[in-house]
Amino acid sequence: MSAIHLQTEIPGPKSRALYERRQAVISRGLSTAHPLFVDRADNARITDVDGNVFIDFTGGIGAMNVGHARPEVVAAAGEQAGRFTHTAIQVLGYEPYIALAEKLCALAPISGPKKAFLVSTGTEACENAVKFARLATKRKAVIAFEHAFHGRSLGALSLTSRATPYKAGMGPFLPEIYRLPYPTYYRWGVSEQDATEMTKRRVEEFFRTVVAPGEVCAIIVETVLGEGGFLAPPAGFLPFLRETCTRHGILLIVDEVQCGWARTGKLFAIEHFGVEPDIMCTAKSMAAGFPIAGVVGRAEILDACEPGALGGTYAGNPMACAASLAAIDVIEREGLAAKAQVLGDHLVTRLRAMQAAIPLVGDVRGIGAMRAIELVKVRATREPATEETARVVAAARQKGLLLLATGTYGNVIRFLMPLTIPQRDLDEGLDVLEAALRAV
């Protein structure tokens, strides 16, 4: 039986009416990938207000690894809401905050004593990681990478590397933020090994010509590029960063906001590379859509702040803490990391078959179930097929599949379906994707 059920035009009349209301009162700076409005969702299926049922390959931008409306998560948040919804952790403590911090410290792939701090968003996690690093090292400079995305508030936006639309007209940005090229070997047209060697040479030159390593408090890097195009790093890249940081007394911050919580076939993507960070940022599928994020790292680093230096009215909200503990329990109990690897293997098989048959598909890449295809006009030149990507997303929507484009050039389609998606829904969605690619 088909998961997709379309009973009106897309978008339907109720979605169109809501879109008109939205246009009248919401800033045009907030864009939405699909002109649809949701009524309910279940696992990997979304039903809009017109009763149309779609297969969801977007997963709330990576927040729904355990599936939409997961009963255990809903129940945990509801039970907590029935007791109390908020006190502000700076005013009164509560056990769920401590329990979640204990869980993060137990799971984080960092040796030795660890501590954690909870906030509401991945953006805040990245900003606070930098605060910790500056205080712990007594240094100011931070190195980030081209194609990086670490959030949209002014501090995190200083680390993010996409001029339009994220940064245009938003400056000036924070000082002492420096940027290195990320080894995007497919777009460079070189091998992974060559990309790593090119990056090593650039870092050596960078420390001689741009900023001295003794001035740098931290290097912050996404373990797998998210908004930058779902590119997994070359094999030697992250070990090189770790060695460089250790040699110069620089802290390594890994951003696992999108790639964490079993998406790549490990609980955290950094575990694929045998690299231990000093600080890790996490959010999204940590709480199955509830707004919570965390910073976890070596205890001496997170204790560098004076009491009162950290906080946030809603940071570590008790309902979100309860939801997070339930979501993590599902991830562990159901072995979603192993399921992600099986899901990813199936994805790769189907996507590479599409690549072999459809010239528009230039590259298939990723780790585990964090996969993407890059669409190009001509494979030899790798010219980004930005307009064609938008047409594929629109064509798939008309047939009941929700996709999400990404990448610096907007020519990458990323796959963030729930890791709990039934096989029949997965294959039905991939059939729609293939038809849309062929049509475009």
Domain with residue 234: its CATH number is: 3.40.640.10
Q: Which of 306, 333, 360 is the last residue of a domain?
A: 333
Task: List residues bridging with 216 in a β-sheet.
Answer: 141
Query: Tokens standing for 407?
Result: 């990448």
Buried (b) or exposed (e) across 138-169, using 16+ Cβ within 10 A?
A: ebbbbbbbebbbbbeeebbbbbbbbeeeeeee
Tell me, yes or no, whether 415 and 308 share the same domain: no
Q: Which of 317, 333, 349 is the last residue of a domain?
A: 333
Query: Which residue type does 385 have?
Result: A
Taking each helix axis from N to C end, the angle separating 336-357 and 318-333, rounded to the nearest 10 degrees, works out to: 70
Q: Give CA–CA dist 172/230, Å, rounded.
A: 28
Domain that holds residue 191: 72-333
pLDDT at 163: 85
What pTM, to 2 d.p., does this model score? Answer: 0.96
- Residue 294 covered by a domain: yes
Tell me, yes or no, whether 251 and 128 share the same domain: yes
- Residue 4 covered by a domain: no
How remote is the C-alpha of 141 from its chain's centroid? 24
Tell me, yes or no, whether 329 and 347 share the same domain: no
What's the total number of domains in the chain?
2
Number of H helices, E strands in the chain: 14, 15
Nearest to 70 by CA among 59, 84, 81, 82: 59
Tell me, yes or no, whether 257 and 170 share the same domain: yes
- Residue 3 covered by a domain: no
- Residue 107 covered by a domain: yes
Q: Any idea what the CATH number is for the domain that residue 417 is in?
A: 3.90.1150.10
Q: Which DSSP string corresponds to 213-257?
A: GGGEEEEEEESS-STTT-PPPPTTHHHHHHHHHHHHTPEEEEE-T
- Residue 6 covered by a domain: no
Tell me, yes or no, whether 387 and 431 share the same domain: yes
pLDDT at 251: 98
Tell me, yes or no, whether 323 and 421 share the same domain: no
Tell me, yes or no, whether 80 and 58 share the same domain: no
Tell me, yes or no, whether 196 and 147 share the same domain: yes
- Residue 292 covered by a domain: yes
- Residue 241 covered by a domain: yes
Task: List residues bridging with 361 in a β-sheet.
Answer: 375
Q: Give CA–CA dist 301/128, Å, rounded.
A: 11
Q: What are the φ and ψ backbone dihedral angles of 247, each rounded to 5 degrees?
A: -65, -35
Q: What pLDDT tens digit does each residue of the chain (440 aa) get?
A: 899 999 999 999 999 999 999 999 999 999 999 999 999 999 999 999 999 999 999 999 999 999 999 999 999 999 999 999 999 999 999 999 999 999 999 999 999 999 999 999 999 999 999 999 999 999 999 999 999 999 999 999 999 998 888 888 888 999 999 999 999 999 999 999 999 999 999 999 999 999 999 999 999 999 999 999 999 999 899 999 999 999 999 999 999 999 999 999 999 999 999 999 999 999 999 999 999 999 999 999 999 999 999 999 999 999 999 999 999 999 999 999 999 999 999 999 999 999 999 999 999 999 999 999 999 999 999 999 999 999 999 999 999 999 999 999 999 999 999 999 999 999 999 999 999 999 99
Q: Give CA–CA dist 153/160, Å, rounded.
A: 10
Tell me, yes or no, whether 431 and 322 share the same domain: no
Q: What is the DSSP letter of 68?
A: B
Tell me, yes or no, whether 247 and 363 share the same domain: no
Q: What is the DSSP letter of 316?
A: T
Q: Give CA–CA dist 121/128, Å, rounded.
A: 11
Tell me, yes or no, whether 320 and 184 share the same domain: yes
- Residue 8 covered by a domain: no
Strands 216-222 and 412-415: unpaired
Q: Give CA–CA dist 289/252, Å, rounded.
A: 27
Residues in the chain: 440
pLDDT at 16: 98
Q: What is the DSSP letter of 279?
A: E
Q: Which of 271, 302, 333 is the last residue of a domain?
A: 333
Tell me, yes or no, whether 340 and 329 share the same domain: no
